[in-house]
Structure 1
Amino acid sequence: MGLGGTAKKVQAIAEKAEQTYQRLNELREEVEKTQETVTETGDRVRQLETEMAEQRAVLDAVAEEVGVDLEAVSTDAHITEAESGDETEGDEDNAASEDDEDGTADEETGDDGSANGADES
């Protein structure tokens, strides 16, 4: 093997090393961005949890003043949710085909797909 062959191999290795270095820098930047996103998301989640706790406290106080039994309401909601979940599991295919046939989907019932039908903003 001559000097020219060795130079070509060294050049190929140097190019591969440069490509690898560039890719590592790209990956490092992606990881940093992901870490920032995770941190920001964690902060938002904590803020939302705090707001929810405050809203829950207000609702509890209002419910107590009005005389609403929160445990009974919560239990009823869970039972209703469980029952509707059992019914829809077996009927999902039928419901989808019925919606396609008459083209109405959930428009007649006013169901917007949210848990309580309220705006989430």
Structure 2
Amino acid sequence: MGLGSTAKKIQKVADIAEDLYAKVTELKTQLQELRGTVEETNDRVDDLDRELAEQRALLEAIADEQGIDVETVQTEALIDDAETEPDTDDTTR
């Protein structure tokens, strides 16, 4: 094996290494952007959870003021939802 073919092989390995480095750098950037997006989404979800809790508290206070039993209304809503959901049990086959 001559020096020329060895140099070509080394150059090919160096080119592959450069391509891999560029891809790793690109993936690192994408991962950082993804982390930022996940953090922003988590913050939004936390905000929505707080807002939902506040709204629930207000609705329960209004319901109590109007003499409405919140637990009964929730139970009836769950029953109605269960009755209107399509049957996903495939045991009849």
Would you say same fold, with TM above 0.5? yes
Q: 1:12-27 to 2 correspondence within 5 Å?
A: 12-27=12-27
Structure 2 CA distance for aligned equivalents of residues 4 and 71 of structure 1: 83
Q: Which runs of 5+ in 2 are unaligned?
A: 89-93
The one-letter code matched in structure 2 to 1:17 is A
Partner of 1:65: 65
Structure 1 CA distance for aligned equivalents of residues 4 and 49 of structure 2: 67
The one-letter code matched in structure 1 to 2:34 is T
Structure with greater helix percent:
2
**Cα RMSD (Å):** 1.0
Moved over 4 A (4+): none
Partner of 2:91: none
Partner of 1:89: 87
Identity of aligned pairs, percent? Answer: 48
Structure 1 CA distance for aligned equivalents of residues 5 and 25 of structure 2: 30
The one-letter code matched in structure 1 to 2:32 is E
Structure 1 CA distance for aligned equivalents of residues 3 and 72 of structure 2: 87
User: What is the Cα deviation at residue 89 of structure 1?
Assistant: 2.8
Q: Normalization by structure 1: what TM-score? A: 0.71
Q: Normalization by structure 2: what TM-score? A: 0.91
Q: Deviations over 1:33-74 (max 9, x none)?
A: 111111001000000000000001110110000111101100
Structure possessing the higher relative contact order (Cα contacts under 8 Å, 6 or more residues apart): 2
